Structure formats: C-alpha cells, structure tokens
Amino acid sequence: GESVGLHLPTLSVQEGDNSIINCAYSNSASDYFIWYKQESGKGPQFIIDIRSNMDKRQGQRVTVLLNKTVKHLSLQIAATQPGDSAVYFCAEMYSGGGADGLTFGKGTHLIIQP
C-alpha cells in the first residue's frame, strides 16, 4: 500500500531487469494520465502520457497501461539502468474543465541495484 510523509513505497530491482510501478488513481472522471520521474533536487520530468480512450501506450523502454475499470495505472520500464533510479509519480486530470491542475499520486522510489 501507499505511505505518507517521508516513507515512500520502494521498489528495488537489479540492473537489466524489468520493473513495474503501480498507481491507483482516485477520480473516475479523469481522462488524461501522465507518469513523471523526479530525481533528487529536480522537478518532475515527463516520461509518458495516456488518454482514457487507450489502454496501452509505448515509448522508448517504457510502457503505460491503463485499466479504467479498477482505476489503475502502471508504468513498465524495460532493461532498467542506473539512471532510472528516481521517484516516480503518476498524475491524473480531467481535461474537460479547462486548465485544470494535475493530481499527483504519492510516488514510488525505484532503486536500481548494480
């Protein structure tokens, strides 16, 4: 389950392995979803997005899966590298309301073991 405050969920994987980071979103009206990567001392960095009319989207080494029935989002990273170590956030929004802000999840700390 997710944690609050300083205690982020942590996922530790071996370099070269695949990793899957999961996210449960809250608003059934949300129709646009983004995964961000945040390294220490930096702002969130865009990885990949998906709209609600899709259930899968692939990028370079990353795949996002969307299950609207259970309000679940996942990020798969293939062949992880040391540079993938970071905190990963999912974010959701309803795009029909104008310039709405993103609602972020609490984050997962991905650690790549050499």
Partner 1 sequence: EPEVTQTPSHQVTQMGQEVILRCVPISNHLYFYWYRQILGQKVEFLVSFYNNEISEKSEIFDDQFSVERPDGSNFTLKIRSTKLEDSAMYFCASSGRFSNQPQHFGDGTRLSIL
Handedness of CA 20, 77, 84, 95 (dihedral sign): negative
Strands 19-24 and 32-38 turn out to be unpaired
Nearest to 27 by CA among 93, 80, 96: 93
Q: List the x/- string, 22-61, binding to partner 1 by CB under 8 A.
A: ---------xx-x-x----xxxxxx--x-x----------
- Cα-Cα end-to-end distance for the chain: 26
CB of 40 to partner 1, least distance (A): 11
Residues 70-99 that bind partner 1 (CB under 8 A): 89, 91, 93, 95, 97-99
Residues that bind partner 1 (CB under 8 A): 4-6, 8, 31-32, 34, 36, 41-46, 49, 51, 89, 91, 93, 95, 97-107
